[in-house]
């Protein structure tokens, strides 16, 4: 295996995932496992965002639209229609892809780009939030509760370790998918569209179709995160499912971790939430402290490491002895720090 394969191949994914899979064997603290499950769910949502924005250059401020769709589909199908939890989860993923396709079709076909596209996605998420908050079948403002009924058949587990492994398996699957996309024609075309859409079209790239595929896939992945969130916390309301907090989480993690890199979302989510948990140990529970930290980290990253943690790691490795550079450091400009959202306490 050449040095290049080491930084662009599947081996690092296998190693990282294997290492993370061992964690529940050594960590028994529910608080820590809870933190890790939540962080993996964020990482999964962020992986969806990263595919569209990091690789495809289409910055969304509204990934809550997908997260919420996956979450509500899981809850509503089980509670109102008695559908099996796994089926509901899969349907949620499909609906996430569909919502992605619809948003993509409406905005990309009319040529929306940059901040216009970002604002349209934000608007979609907000409309869905308002609808979910007022509709009857979503439980309205009171929210929706999935009855506790622990059994593997119901996608409910006794131990947090089991949830951890499920979340890790989903994150791992997307890591592999991402790497495969990087090496496929689709990945090359997606990055080409990000870098220069006119040039890509001149080279035979159907930019609209590439962007639609990317947003559908992105929506499916982030919807999976929403579905998993519903299974884990067993409670949703409109602000949790479709609220701006998750749109911001989904974009912060890849920006901090490394836009358009396979590991960026996971690394970013772990770094951000690790920092905010650590801060609680030192300064105690101050409401909103995590947002302060997120903001500070974002400013530091944008100012000093615009290619994120993965970019820094790559540079250090090159300096230390020339393992060849990874293929495509994304350099798409990071969006301006979003205003701090009022975020519901994370149910735990």
Residues that bind another protein (CB under 8 A): 183-185, 188-189, 191-192, 195-196, 198-207, 327-331
Q: Which is nearer to another protein, 114 or 274 (CB)?
A: 114
Distance CA 43, CA 45 (A): 5
Q: Where are the beta strands (DSSP E) in 28-136?
A: none
CB of residue 163 vs another protein: minimum separation in angstroms? Answer: 36
Please say which residue, 57 or 265, places its beta carbon nearer to another protein: 57
322/337 Cα distance (integer angstroms): 34
65 vs 214, which CB is nearer to another protein? 214
Q: Which residue lies nearer to another protein by CB, 204 or 287? A: 204
- 53-91 burial by CB neighbour count: b if 16+ within 10 A, else e? bbbbbbbbbbbbbbbbbbbbbbbbbbbeeebebeebbbb
In angstroms, what is the minimal distance from the CB of 330 to another protein? Answer: 7
User: Chain-centre distance of CA 71, in angstroms?
Assistant: 14
Pair 212, 105: CB distance under 8 Å: yes
In the complex, minimum distance from the CB of residue 257 to another protein, in angstroms, rounded to a whole number: 17
Sign of CA dihedral 53, 58, 64, 65: negative
Q: How far is the CB of 102 from another protein (least distance, A)?
A: 22
CB of residue 264 to another protein, shortest distance in Å = 15
Q: Pick between residue 190 and residue 298 the one whose CB is nearest to another protein.
A: 190
* Burial state string for 144-156 with b = 16 or more CB within 10 A and e = fewer than 16: bebeeeeeeebbb
Helix (H) or strand (E) holding 95: helix 85-109
Alpha carbons 51 and 261: distance in angstroms, whole number: 9
Q: Which is nearer to another protein, 118 or 192 (CB)?
A: 192
Pick between residue 202 and residue 281 the one whose CB is nearest to another protein.
202
Measured distance between the N- and C-terminal CA atoms of the chain, rounded to whole angstroms = 44
Least separation, in Å, of the C-beta of 214 and another protein? 16
Shortest distance in whole angstroms from residue 28 CB to another protein: 44
Tokens of 26: 């050594």
């Amino acid at each position: 295996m050449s040095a290049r394969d080491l930084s662009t191949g599947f081996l690092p994914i296998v190693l990282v995932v294997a290492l993370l899979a061992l964690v529940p064997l050594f960590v028994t603290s529910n608080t820590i496992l809870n933190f890790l499950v939540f962080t993996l769910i964020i990482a999964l949502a962020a992986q969806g965002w990263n595919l569209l924005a990091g690789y495809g250059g289409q910055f969304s401020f509204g990934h809550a639209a997908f997260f919420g769709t996956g979450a509500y589909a899981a809850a509503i199908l089980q509670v109102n229609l008695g559908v099996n939890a796994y089926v509901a989860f899969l349907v949620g993923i499909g609906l996430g892809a569909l919502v992605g396709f619809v948003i993509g079709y409406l905005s990309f076909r009319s040529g929306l780009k940059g901040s216009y596209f970002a604002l349209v996605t934000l608007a979609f998420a907000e409309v869905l939030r308002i609808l979910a908050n007022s509709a009857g079948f979503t439980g309205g403002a009171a929210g929706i509760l999935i009855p506790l009924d622990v059994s593997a058949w119901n996608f409910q587990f006794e131990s947090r370790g089991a949830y951890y492994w499920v979340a890790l398996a989903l994150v791992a699957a997307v890591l592999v998918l991402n790497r495969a996309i990087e090496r496929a024609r689709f990945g090359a075309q997606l990055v080409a569209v990000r870098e220069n859409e006119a040039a890509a079209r001149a080279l035979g790239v159907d930019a609209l179709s590439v962007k639609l595929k990317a947003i559908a896939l992105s929506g499916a992945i982030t919807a999976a995160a929403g579905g998993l969130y519903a299974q884990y916390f067993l409670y949703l309301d409109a602000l949790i499912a479709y609220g701006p907090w998750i749109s911001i989480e989904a974009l912060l993690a890849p920006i901090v971790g490394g836009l358009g890199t396979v590991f960026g979302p996971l690394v970013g989510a772990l770094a951000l939430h690790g920092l905010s948990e650590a801060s609680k140990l030192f300064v105690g529970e101050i409401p909103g402290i995590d947002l302060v930290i997120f903001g500070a980290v974002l400013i530091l990253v944008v100012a000093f490491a615009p290619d994120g943690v993965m970019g820094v790691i790559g540079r250090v490795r090159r300096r230390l002895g020339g393992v060849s550079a990874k293929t495509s450091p994304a350099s798409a400009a990071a969006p301006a720090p979003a205003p701090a959202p009022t975020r519901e306490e994370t149910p735990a």
